[in-house]
Chains A and B, each alone.
Chain A
Amino acid sequence: MLESVLLTIATAATPLLIAAIGELVAERSGVLNLGVEGMMIMGAVTGFSVSLLSGSAWLGVVAAIVVGAAFALLFGFLTLTLVTNQVATGLALTLFGLGVSGMIGESFVGQPGMRLGVVDIPVLSDLPVVGRLVFGQDPLFYLSLLLTAGVAYFLFGTRAGLMLRAVGDNPASAHAQGISVIGIRYLAVMFGGACAGLAGAYLSLVYTPQWVENMTAGRGWIALALVVFASWRPWRVIAGAYLFGGVTIGQLHAQAIGVAIPSQMLSSLPYVATIVVLVVISQNRRLTMMNTPASLGRPFVPDR
Chain B
Amino acid sequence: MRGLSITAHCAPHRVDGGARCARGALALSIALLLVLVAGFSPARAVEFDEILPDRTLEARARAISSGLRCLVCQNQSIDDSNAPLARDLRLLVRERLKAGDSDAQVRAFLVARYGDFVLLKPPMTGTTLLLWGAPFLILGGGAVAIALGVRRRRRQAIAVPLSDEEKARLKAALGAE
- Asked if A and B bind, the verdict is no
Q: Report which B residues bind A (CB closer than 8 A).
A: none
* Chain A residues in the interface with B (C-beta under 8 A): none
